[in-house]
A and B are shown apart, each in its own frame.
Chain A
Amino acid sequence: MDVTIPILILAIPLTMFLLLGIAGCKMSHRTAGILGCLGMGTVLVLAYYTAAQYFFSGNELFGADGVRLQHIVFNQTWLEFTPTMAIKLGFLLDPISAMMLVVITTISFMVHLYSMGYMRDHHGVYEHGFQRFYAFLSLFSFSMLGLVVATNIFQMYIFWELVGASSYLLIGFYYVKPSAVSASKKAFIVTRFADLGFLIGILILSYYVGNFDFMNLTSSPVASLAETFSVDIAAPQHIAQIFADNAAPVFMGGSVLTWALVLIFMGGMGKSAMMPLHIWLPDAMEGPTPVSALIHAATMVVAGVYLVARLFPLYLMEDTALVIITVVGAITALYAAMVACTQLDIKRVLAFSTISQIAFMMVSLGVARPEHHEALGYMASMFHLFTHAMFKALLFLCAGAIIHAIGSNDYTDMHGLRKYMPITHWTFLIGCLAIAGIIPFSGFFSKDEILSACLGYDWVAYVWMSLVAGLTAFYMFRLYFLIFWWKEHKIHEGHHAPHDQAWTMSLPLIILAAISCVAGFIPFGELVSWNGHPYDFMAHFDWSVAGISLAIAVAGIALAWVMYRRENALPEKFRNAVPALWTWCYHRFYWDELYMFITHKIIFGGICRPLAWFDRNIIDGTMDSFAAVTNKASEAIRPLQSGQIQMYVWYYLIGVLALAGICAACIL
């Protein structure tokens, strides 16, 4: 395959970032925005073209005998440690990276377009830092694209950090707002902490394997094609052999490979906001809403899922690691869903819903086994990633439109908006139906497959995740009814009625809603499966699972309908019935307080303060005394420089004699 288009896919966003970042202040807001949109639009076309080539061209590089292969378009050595161990920068095409190219460019383009309307006030005046905003969006797009096409785990790590940095920049976009600043710091520190685990995992893995390439870790070369690889279960066997041969030490009951994989997963937990590293994501909502849609709903936060999927053949070798993934995912899913039922801020509800949905994907990967439905969970997870990106971005962008119209994040300021904002209302409803899992919207299909995969693995997982699915339907419709129904909207004195936004903001909503309506009918199994073999979903389809999940979703919606369709005392009664549960959910189970306690009381007080004392008294004291001695010495030798030439000559002579004398004393 020609390398021009892959290079352009990465180069255009980077160029846009540099152009808008450096020269942005010299151009008008409008020009900067249009440039950003055009750049992203071009990348969108190129990425679609690349994905279409990959999936449908029938080129033997991309598939042989109906099996989809991994193809390295280019791979440039960047840093060479040893002949076998080099960090390369390249472009990998395989089912999931092609799928991610589509997801990222679609959402990113929608957000670019949407921001043209969102990032200005009601009078059409562009916000301060508009060009900077577009520069950062481009940086993010570049980083995210680089992450998904990484050919080796180190390239992934580099771009992994770059998306973290651009997320930091965008959360803190309103840097005069203290809450935004602290949110951006929190996001950066928490994810960086998680990435520490990721890095250690990479180091352990590469120390034993001696290589960073995914090709070596998870695939094996196809005989006739140098740059093309096929994923098979045999490939990791030689990795397993390496670990078996090395008599690797066992640490705290886990083998080295388990530790490496769990630590790598820790990086994924940070980015994908799995418990207990989820605390940054709700706060990240301080960023502009389009950023939340792009980064904190559709793309960056699923990087953890993508990471696990990328290394899936390795994870298959260690059942422990997959069980940990399943358990972490399941707990996070339930936790986030419960918290989402009580939040007031609509973006926070969506944030917790995102956490819960990503946990669905994680669980789905965790329960995927080739022996159960041929690893349906892997396919289901990627499918859900795809559909979720679309409908969650849609929901966020709708929320953005509402917030832009109302000027508040709190649903108590909204209520009854359906008459005023019809487009937003209908598209939001489609988003809610999709996430709740109502046929024929896209979420139904992907969620149903996840539940099927869970059932194939273990009935506990199935029941648990079905319960979370019911909760999902409930809290999403609670949100929907509270925003658009409940009671008549109160228009404050001097304010005009809220209305749908400009076409730049409405068009992305309509497009994403349309995708959410039809995406479920994509024959996803044909395109993406863990080993590239086309997956016949219908062969594993279970009508009872589909029926039950639909029934649960309808029940959740019905409950929300009863409680929130119009103003009544039921919610109040419910809250009073289980006050403790409600308070814990409302305060997010006090995780933030726990972290505050750990960092402030234990780390700052217990560790940092003694260290600070040591630094101030012992280290500084030593240094100060050195300085004092130096000063004293400097004072003591002052008379040497008397200014009298006789003395100069005298010291000179003494010097010569002393030199000779010392040498003589030493030698003779």
Chain B
Amino acid sequence: MEIVNMDYTQFLAMKQEIGLLIVFIVVFLYDTFLPAKSQKALPGLTAVLMLILTVCGIVFEAVAPETLSKTAFAGMYVSTPVIAALKTILNVGVVIVLIQSVNWANSSFMAMRRGEFYELLLVTLFGMYLMVSARHFLLFVIGLESASLPLAAMVALDKNRYESHEAAVKYILTAVFSSAIFMLGLSFVYGLTGSLYFNDIYAALTGAGVNMMLIVALAAVVSGVGFKLSLVPFHLWTADVYQGAPTSVTSYLSVISKGAAAFAFLVILVQAFGMLYAQLWEWMLYALIILTITVGNLFAIRQKNMKRFLAFSSVSQAGYIMLGVISDGAPVATAAMMFYILVYIFSNLAAFGVIGAIERASGKLSMDDYRGLYRTNPRLSVAMMLAMFSLAGIPPFAGFFSKFFIFTGALSAPGVGTAMYVLVLIALINTIVSLYYYLLVVKAMFIADDQCVIEPFRSSASERLGLWITVAGIIGLGIASWFFSELNVLTATYPLI
């Protein structure tokens, strides 16, 4: 590795990180120094700033994608148009979360903590940026930790609620444990290869034999990222944390951190351990995907609490996202995964948007409370129905196409074996199981003719805006599913390796 003298131009390579940092500083200064009476504008301000960042990202992507290809800090940090696109996709999700959380953030309880929520959220997002851009495990761990630890504080924001504390404690303890195992694995890797650069690890492993040490190291690394993605059996924290955390935090946790972790996972496995694909990690992922999809589904069947229900649904969805990782960075599969993440953001945030609105208005969270909702709140019910249809993968909604593409992606690699067909078949069978529980919600809302305990109410402007955006995404990406081929062109032009 050549020695590079560091200068300020290195930082200029990190366009999106700098943009995010500016947003963070503005929010921080606004929160810290402006009088309390102007604080109500903070949620809107954050959303607008993030929206600007997102739009800038899209414009760059469309106008001059090559300018986004940068390397900095002796190759520790890499940005390509594909990575920038993933960050922009995450930004889209963050904007929606921010819009949906305006009401909650402006509630009287949150008055003193409003700034904390936004600052922590932006810090974790920064961590996720680093996770997907890192090409050195040191930077990756910094990213991982800054994406994890503040989340514990966010989970605990609702400090008057017992569950919120419990969730935070469970989260921080398991996260610490997971980090420990992850670092143990890394130390093994360092010991075996003598470097923490992805490229060097790849080079060192090329031609070297497989030994027990390496297997354990890889299993530990996989588990560390699998924890963030809540793959079974590293998922056990998910349900308790999703249920205990404030709904806005849960929705952020369920989509953004999952999307970032999945992509980072792909980068690590392909760029550092790509050698071991056929021998090791393909089969580890194979087992994890089957377990994750199936166990997530089996638990989701029984859930009555909507947030808990969505927690297990998101466990199972993570399994589908992983189908994009298992193809060893094939452009089609990568594009399919990014498309899946985008669609999943819209679908899941639509569901959380409805749940959040209902929770704020009536405090109801049980699926039984949703019985007959169509009669009292028809528009929310329709939004929820679309979200469920999209999550279940019913055409013509976006979720159908994202599932279709991710299956195609998993099978598109040259020389794909029977095992992969079996995997896709199992995933397909599991969509039927998932259809059952998603439709349970629809059935409760539309078919049950009980008197609904949720009174008719009018959701706030920001909640409606958030839902309109997500519903537009669910329908729009279903109709404009050719957007996938745009992503495909991008990933084919700028491959991961």
Which A residues are closer than 8 A to B by beta carbons? 627, 630-631, 633-635, 637-638, 640-641, 643, 645, 647-649, 651-657, 659-660, 662-664, 666-668
Contacts and interface: CB of A to CB of B under 8 A. Distances in A.
Contact of B222 (A627, A645, A659): A659
Contacts of A641: 236, 239, 299
A645 B166 CA distance: 10
A641 B234 CA distance: 12
Residue in B177, B215, B240 with the greatest tally of chain A CB atoms within 10 Å: B215
B234 A655 contact: yes
Nearest to A642: B236
A663 B174 contact: no
A645 B215 contact: no
B312 to A, nearest CB: 9
20 contacts: A631-B301, A633-B298, A637-B298, A637-B299, A641-B236, A643-B240, A647-B236, A648-B170, A649-B173, A649-B177, A654-B233, A655-B223, A655-B232, A655-B233, A655-B234, A656-B219, A660-B215, A662-B283, A663-B284, A667-B279
Contacts of B279: 667
**B: contact size bracket:** 35 or more
A634 B233 contact: no
Contacts of B218: 660, 663
Given A630-B301, A635-B302, A652-B181, 5 more contacts: A634-B299, A637-B298, A645-B169, A648-B237, A653-B181
**Complex A-B, nearest 8 residue pairs according to Cβ-Cβ distance, in ascending order:** A655-B233, A660-B219, A648-B236, A634-B298, A659-B219, A656-B223, A660-B216, A634-B301
Contact of A668 (B177, B212, B219, B284): B212
A659 B287 contact: yes
A668 B287 contact: no
A647 to B, nearest CB: 8
A662 B287 contact: yes
Contacts of A660: 212, 215-216, 218-220
B210 A667 contact: yes
Residue in B216, B233, B240, B295 with the greatest tally of chain A CB atoms within 10 Å: B233
A653 B234 CA distance: 9
B280 interface: yes
B280 A667 contact: yes
A645 B244 CA distance: 14
A663 B219 contact: yes
A397 B232 CA distance: 75
A645 B298 contact: no
B215 A664 contact: yes
Residue in A633, A634, A635 with the greatest tally of chain B CB atoms within 10 Å: A634
B220 A656 contact: yes
Contact of B174 (A634, A645, A659, A668): A645
Contacts of A633: 298
Chain B facing A: main interface SS: helix
B178 interface: yes
A527 B237 CA distance: 85
Contacts of A663: 215, 218-219, 280, 283-284
Contacts of B302: 634-635, 638
Contacts of B210: 667-668
A197 B152 CA distance: 68
Nearest to B291: A655
A642 to B, nearest CB: 8
B236 A667 contact: no
A258 B170 CA distance: 77
A638 B220 CA distance: 26
A649 B212 CA distance: 23
B367 interface: no
B433 interface: yes
A635 to B, nearest CB: 8
A660 B283 CA distance: 11
Contacts of A653: 181
B271 to A, nearest CB: 20
Contacts of A630: 298, 301, 433
A656 B177 CA distance: 12
A633 B174 CA distance: 26
Contacts of B301: 630-631, 634
Residue in A627, A635, A643, A656 with the greatest tally of chain B CB atoms within 10 Å: A656
B212 A664 contact: yes
Contacts of A651: 233, 236
Contacts of A659: 219, 222-223, 284, 287-288
B295 A637 contact: yes
A627 to B, nearest CB: 8
Interface in B169-222: 169-170, 173-174, 177-178, 181, 210-212, 215-216, 218-220, 222
Contacts of B299: 634, 637, 641
Nearest to B212: A664
Given A630-B433, A645-B170, A652 B234 contact: yes
A626 to B, nearest CB: 9
B181 A656 contact: yes
Contacts of A635: 302
B293 to A, nearest CB: 13
Given A630-B301, A664-B215, A668-B210, A649 B174 contact: yes
A643 to B, nearest CB: 7
A362 B279 CA distance: 73
A538 B290 CA distance: 84
Contact of A648 (B174, B298, B436): B174
A655 B210 CA distance: 20
Given A645-B173, A652-B174, A660-B216, A640 B284 contact: no
Nearest to A665: B215
A640 B299 CA distance: 10
Contacts of B284: 659, 663
A649 B218 CA distance: 19
Contacts of B170: 645, 648
A417 B301 CA distance: 74
B458 to A, nearest CB: 28
Contacts of B295: 637, 640
A637 B295 CA distance: 8
Interface in B371-410: none
B360 to A, nearest CB: 27
Interface in B220-243: 220, 222-223, 227, 232-234, 236-237, 239-240
Contacts of A668: 210-212
Nearest to B301: A634
B80 to A, nearest CB: 30
Contact of A652 (B178, B212, B215, B280): B178
A637 B169 CA distance: 24
Residue in A630, A634, A638, A659 with the greatest tally of chain B CB atoms within 10 Å: A659
Residue in B173, B211, B212, B298 with the greatest tally of chain A CB atoms within 10 Å: B298
Nearest to B279: A667
Contacts of B288: 659
A657 to B, nearest CB: 8
Contacts of A655: 223, 232-234
B81 to A, nearest CB: 33
A645 B212 CA distance: 29
A635 B219 CA distance: 29
A277 B496 CA distance: 64
A641 B240 CA distance: 9
Contacts of B234: 652, 655
